[in-house]
């Protein structure tokens, strides 16, 4: 039996491309909608447990099922010990052949290399943005003028933190963090 596993990272992403590719070659498809970095993947775990000797675990691409080369190779070892092979449909790899095993091993390393490069490029882009003065993260909820006014009223005991938070439409912890952030930026 050929069981297909499809994964998309978010609810908004569509698995259509994977469905179109796997439906003609699989006996059943199992779709998971969550990040590959999630601690548990219930659909993946369920399909792996349901596989029997002689079955083939089919995925569209390696990164749809595995986080690293080590994960991919370890899972393959566990599955093969149970008489189960893996097929990667996008590049027509079947681990039941010596050539398929070689390519699977190679592709596992390449996939991990690609993920690490992407992570590195993202970090470099964020650093470059910070150097240019781009503020990363969610938008600031209060202007410096609002923060100073709130701080002055709190220090003069004209208002409490909670009252200033309500006045500015923010949570009290936002008032405290904003005052600290402003004080720190003025010290630097």
- The 10 Å Cβ neighbour count of residue 64 is 20
DSSP state letter for 23: T
In this structure, what token pair is assigned to residue 13? 């992403």
Q: How far apart are CA 176 and CA 45, in angstroms?
A: 44
Q: Are 5 and 43 within 8 A, CB to CB?
A: yes
DSSP state letter for 174: H
Q: Which residues are part of the catalytic machinery?
A: 9
Handedness of CA 181, 182, 183, 187 (dihedral sign): positive
Maximal C-alpha separation, the chain = 78
Q: How many CA atoms lie within 13 A of 53 on its CB side?
A: 3
DSSP state letter for 134: P
DSSP state letter for 135: P
């Amino acid at each position: 039996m050929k069981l297909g596993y499809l994964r998309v990272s978010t609810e908004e992403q569509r698995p259509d491309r994977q469905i179109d590719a796997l439906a003609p070659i699989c006996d059943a498809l199992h779709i998971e909608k969550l990040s590959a970095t999630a601690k548990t993947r219930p659909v993946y775990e369920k399909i792996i447990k349901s596989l029997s000797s002689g079955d083939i675990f089919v995925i569209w691409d390696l990164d749809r099922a595995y986080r690293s080369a080590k994960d991919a190779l370890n899972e393959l070892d566990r599955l093969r010990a149970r008489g189960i092979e893996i097929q990667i449909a996008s590049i027509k790899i079947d681990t039941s052949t010596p050539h398929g095993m070689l390519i699977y091993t190679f592709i596992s390393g390449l996939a991990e290399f690609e993920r690490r490069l992407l992570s590195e490029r993202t970090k470099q882009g964020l650093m470059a943005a910070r150097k240019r003065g781009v503020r990363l993260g969610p938008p600031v909820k209060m202007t410096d003028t609002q923060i100073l006014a709130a701080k002055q009223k709190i220090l003069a005991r004209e208002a409490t933190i909670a009252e200033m938070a309500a006045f500015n439409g923010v949570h009290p912890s936002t008032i405290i963090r904003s005052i600290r952030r402003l004080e720190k930026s003025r010290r630097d």
